[in-house]
Amino acid sequence: MFCRNCGEKYMTDEAVMCVKCGAQKGTGNNYCYNCGQPTPPDTQICLNCGVSLAAYGPKGNKSKIAAGLLGIFLGSFGVHNFYLGYTTKAVIQLVLTVATCGIGSIATSIWGLIEGIMILTGSINRDGDGNLLSD
């Protein structure tokens, strides 16, 4: 595994920072973490080895566990989507629940339960700004 900031190979896979440049593991966007070759800053796939660079990077400040539990217990109101920054989807869930005097809450509760489970299993792993959810 290579540093995304300077391209130096990590001593071990458990390293938390690069010994050459001091950057935290996962930060930077100059090099591929898989092959160490230079990459354009906004690329999603390494042009040398083909590995996806989108899922690798620094974690955001939103908790995966908090979002998942909000989805399971308060999903009919879209609270988990408000928390993650998916405002449009959250407003749709809230309006469906409130405008139908609770009758629509059956559908939105199932919707929230499914999304909560998907968040906890990692199927949904980014917030509305594209940052990875922290564990």
User: Hey, where are the domains in the chain?
Assistant: 1-56, 61-134
What pLDDT shows up at residue 56?
Answer: 61
| Percent residues over pLDDT 90 in the chain | 48
Q: Is the pLDDT of residue 54 over 80?
A: no
Q: Is the pLDDT of residue 76 over 60?
A: yes
Give me the chain's average pLDDT, please: 88
What pLDDT shows up at residue 131?
Answer: 78
CA distances from 114 to 29, 31, 100, 119 (A): 33, 36, 21, 9
Q: Is the pLDDT of residue 42 over 80?
A: no
The residue type found at 57 is G
For 110, other C-beta atoms within 10 Å of its C-beta total: 12
Q: How far apart are the first and last CA of the chain?
A: 21
